[in-house]
């Protein structure tokens, strides 16, 4: 049996989903995928996230995923830049201490990191940070694709590049207690080339911590996450922001976990902060790829670029 536990607010409920018997004798690891409503108040945000991490650890999670903007979501460009920090600043220091104290791995997905030329250009990275259970930063991925989108009919006007530097490259998947983890952030979800590159380099799980708008989330969120899972035959883990952050911005919510077949294993809904706890059974990755060997059937790179040569 597979046990899924969704915790929303202070209440808990359990839903059991029957899956095929596991072939592996090793017990699957438990991941906690969190849903947060961040505001410009960094202290309140840390307190809320800390409580989620503590609750997740108490319920058996060995790794906890927090969404994009877990540190804060500013109400203006000026506020967003003013609240930013370096990797050696107070916020990441607190999270490394928390990880070490609780002996839990953390995915902090979407930290407002001051750029290397901060003193001269006042620009930041949107950074996804992995911290191990010893409190060490083991991987940093800086968001590659920036959300510059205007959808007047949907009321969406965001220009991330006005204050954010695109990351220079992908980073190799990192070995964690739940499996080999490939890192993305939010808008990266729309670019299948990224997920396929991570899969080719060994990713068993893809993670997209996000703060999707309500308009784009209701239209595309679940569809995109399931597509990335199906085409890579990976688990996909997506922590999310939810609700009203300030007068100018709201997020869709629905933190999701999807298995390699494209089945949604957990959904936190679109109303409240909380988390979903899910067992990651890597045998499902192996069996899916063995039974439908998509990557073996793929043609070489030149084949897919052949149209460009005609």
Tell whether domain 2-309 is in CATH 3.40.50.300.
no
Whole-number Å distance between alpha carbons of 267 and 256: 5
pLDDT-derived band at 7, boundaries 50, 70, 90: low
Give CA separation, 28 vs 25, 234, 263, 290, in Å.
9, 15, 18, 19
CB 273 within 8 A of CB 35: yes
Q: What is the pLDDT of residues 272-307, one digit of tens each?
A: 999 999 999 999 999 999 999 998 999 988 898 899
Q: Is 268 a catalytic residue?
A: no
The percent of residues in the chain predicted with pLDDT above 70, rounded, is 91
Instruction: Tell me the pLDDT tens digit for each residue of 223-276.
Output: 999 999 999 999 999 999 999 999 889 999 999 999 999 999 999 999 999 999
By the 8 A CB rule, do 208 and 238 touch? Answer: yes
Contact status, residue 251 vs residue 213, Cβ threshold 8 Å:
yes
* pLDDT tens digits for range 13-61: 333 333 333 334 456 799 999 999 999 999 999 999 999 999 999 999 9
Q: Which of 68, 113, 204, 279 is catalytic?
A: 68
What pLDDT does residue 154 have?
A: 80
Cut 0.85: pTM above it:
yes
Q: What is the pLDDT of residue 14?
A: 38
What is the number of residues in the chain?
310
Q: How would DSSP label each residue in 161-189?
A: GGTBPPPSS----EEETTEEEEE--GGGG
Helix runs in 109-244, H state only: 118-121, 192-200, 214-232
Active site (annotated) includes residue 68: yes
User: 143, 234, 268, 279: which is the annotated catalytic residue?
Assistant: 143
pLDDT at residue number 10: 37
| DSSP helix/strand/coil, 115 | coil
| Residue 19, pLDDT score | 35
Alpha helices in the chain (DSSP H): 42-58, 77-83, 90-102, 118-121, 192-200, 214-232, 283-291, 294-297, 301-304
Tell me the β-bridge partners of 236: 206, 258
Whether the per-residue pLDDT at 6 is higher than 70: the answer is no
pLDDT tens profile 111-147: 999 999 999 999 999 999 999 999 999 999 999 999 9
Q: Taking the C-alpha atoms of 218, 34, 32 and 143 in order, what is their torsion angle to the nearest 10 degrees? A: 80
pLDDT tens digits, residue range 137-182? 999 999 999 998 888 888 888 889 989 999 999 999 999 999 999 9
**How many other β-carbons are positioned within 10 Å of the β-carbon of residue 287?**
18
Where are the domains positioned within the chain?
2-309
Does the structure show a pLDDT above 70 at 204? yes
Return the CA Rg of the chain.
19
Count of H helices and E strands in the chain?
9, 18
234 catalytic per annotation: no
pLDDT given at position 149: 85
- Which position among 6, 34, 62, 186 bears the catalytic label? 186
- With H, G, I as helix, E, B as strand and everything else as coil, classify residue 100: helix
């Amino acid at each position: 049996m597979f046990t899924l536990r969704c915790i929303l607010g202070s209440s808990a409920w359990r839903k059991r989903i029957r899956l095929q018997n596991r072939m592996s004798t090793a017990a699957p690891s438990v991941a906690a995928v969190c849903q947060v409503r961040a505001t410009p108040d960094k202290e309140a945000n840390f307190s809320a996230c800390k409580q989620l991490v503590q609750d997740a650890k108490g319920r058996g999670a060995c790794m906890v995923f927090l969404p994009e903007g877990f540190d804060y979501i500013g109400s203006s460009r000026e506020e967003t830049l003013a609240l930013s920090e370096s990797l050696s600043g107070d916020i990441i220091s607190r999270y490394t201490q928390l990880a070490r104290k609780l002996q839990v791995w953390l995915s902090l997905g979407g930290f407002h990191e001051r750029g290397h030329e901060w003193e001269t250009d006042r620009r930041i990275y949107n950074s996804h940070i992995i911290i191990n259970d010893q409190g060490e930063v083991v991987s940093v991925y800086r968001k590659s694709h920036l959300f510059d989108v205007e959808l007047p009919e949907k009321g969406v006007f965001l220009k991330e590049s006005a204050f954010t530097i695109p990351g220079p490259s992908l980073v190799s998947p990192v070995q964690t207690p739940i499996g080999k983890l490939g890192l993305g952030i939010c808008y990266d979800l729309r670019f299948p080339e990224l997920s396929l590159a991570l899969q080719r380099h060994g990713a068993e799980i893809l993670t997209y911590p996000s703060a999707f708008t309500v308009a784009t989330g209701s239209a595309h969120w679940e569809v995109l996450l399931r597509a990335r899972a199906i085409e890579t035959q990976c688990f996909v883990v997506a922590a999310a922001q939810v609700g009203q952050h300030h007068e100018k911005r709201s997020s869709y919510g629905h933190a999701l976990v999807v298995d390699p077949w494209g089945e949604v294993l957990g959904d936190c809904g679109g109303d409240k902060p909380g988390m979903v706890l899910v067992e990651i059974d890597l045998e499902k990755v192996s069996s899916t790829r063995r039974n439908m060997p998509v990557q073996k059937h793929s043609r070489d790179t030149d084949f897919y670029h052949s149209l460009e040569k005609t």
